[in-house]
């Protein structure tokens, strides 16, 4: 089971929320490619924030004092022999917009890529080594291609 919640914590996101929900639903349809485990209940919070908020979170939890586009937090809990994953994914609209302009990419395509990237992190993908980075990147590209989106790494 995948349970989704959306929280808008910045005025920059209000007009984008309906499209973000549609994109999220489309991405989740690729749950097999994203390695979502059918034996786990997922509780996913998509939290749309501003640069100031994501910078605070990045410093508090990662000790990095700068803005970023997305932060993903995962905790696991087992109850009644059912494993649960509680996931908070924070997105900064201003940074996503700046990055998409810099890379000559559509805002929503870039958001989709970041969402796929976060979902892969939730399901065990990391990029701590070059080998892991390449594996994760290949999976991202395949999922995005299946959705009709270009390889974001070639843009």
Distances (CA, A) of 111 to 76, 78, 99: 25, 31, 10
More confident residue, 130 or 47: 47
Domain coordinates of the chain in residue numbers?
2-146
- In angstroms, the CA 96 to CA 100 distance is 6
> Is 38 a residue whose pLDDT tops 90?
no
Predicted local distance difference test score (pLDDT) of residue 88: 97
Domain 2-146 of CATH type 3.40.390.30:
yes
> Is 155 a residue whose pLDDT tops 70?
no
The model's pLDDT over 51-65, given as tens digits with 9 standing for 90+, comes to 999 999 999 999 999
> Is 150 a residue whose pLDDT tops 90?
no
The model's pLDDT over 66-117, given as tens digits with 9 standing for 90+, comes to 999 999 999 998 888 889 999 999 999 999 999 999 988 899 999 999 999 9
Other residues' Cβ atoms within 10 Å of the Cβ of residue 138: 11
Radius of gyration of the chain (CA): 15
- In angstroms, the CA 40 to CA 78 distance is 9
Predicted local distance difference test score (pLDDT) of residue 62: 93
- In angstroms, the CA 113 to CA 136 distance is 12
Tell me the sheet residues that pair with 86.
Answer: 43, 75
Block residue for tokens 């905790």: 75
């Amino acid at each position: 089971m995948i349970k989704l919640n959306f929280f808008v914590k910045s005025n920059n996101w209000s007009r984008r929320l309906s499209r973000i929900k549609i994109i999220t639903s489309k991405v989740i349809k690729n749950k097999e490619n994203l390695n979502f485990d059918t034996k786990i209940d997922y509780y996913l919070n998509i939290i749309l924030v501003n640069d100031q908020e994501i910078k605070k979170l990045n410093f508090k939890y990662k000790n990095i004092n700068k803005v970023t586009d997305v932060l993903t937090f995962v905790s696991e809990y087992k109850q009644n022999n059912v494993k649960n994953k509680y996931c908070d994914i924070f997105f900064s609209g201003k940074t996503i917009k700046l990055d998409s302009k810099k890379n000559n990419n559509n805002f929503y395509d870039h958001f989709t890529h970041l969402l796929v990237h976060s979902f892969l992190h939730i399901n065990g993908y990391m990029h701590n080594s070059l080998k892991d980075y390449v594996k994760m990147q290949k999976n991202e590209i395949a999922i995005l291609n299946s959705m009709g989106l270009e390889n974001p790494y070639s843009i």
